[in-house]
Amino acid sequence: MDQEPQHPLNTREFVALWNVAKEEHLVQRLMVVLARLAQRGVLPALSEAQSVVLAHAIQLAADPAAGPPVAIQYLETLAGEEPGNHPGA
């Protein structure tokens, strides 16, 4: 963790680093909230890896170019389902 800060060489690298930093921050916040929800019995406890998946789905849902259908498709793909090929679809 004692890495020197990485300086982007161009705009594309800057955006990539920014997106990684945003996702890491979102995951940390989400882990705190999910732990509180688990303590209250609202949700089962989730691991950090599960929190990363959920954070990515939230980001997809919030992205105007993607939206909730793409977020759900992402989760379906991770679940090993054919996107949109389930009861009620």
> What is the tens place of the pLDDT at every residue in 10-66?
999 999 999 889 888 988 999 999 999 999 999 999 998 999 899 999 999 999 999
> Cα separation of 73 and 82, whole Å?
9
Closest alpha carbon to 20 in 69, 55, 64: 55
Q: Which long-range contacts (CB under 8 A, 24 or more apart) does 35-44 make?
A: none
Provide mean pLDDT across the span 58-87: 88
- Statement: residue 3 has pLDDT above 70: no
Size of the chain in residues:
89
pTM recorded for the entire structure: 0.71
Neighbours of 20 (CB within 10 A): 11
Quote the pLDDT of residue 82. 82
CA 51/CA 15 separation, integer angstroms:
22
Cα first-last separation, the chain? 44
pLDDT classification of 7: cutoffs 50, 70, 90: confident
| Rounded-to-integer distance, Cα 19 and Cα 79, Å | 24
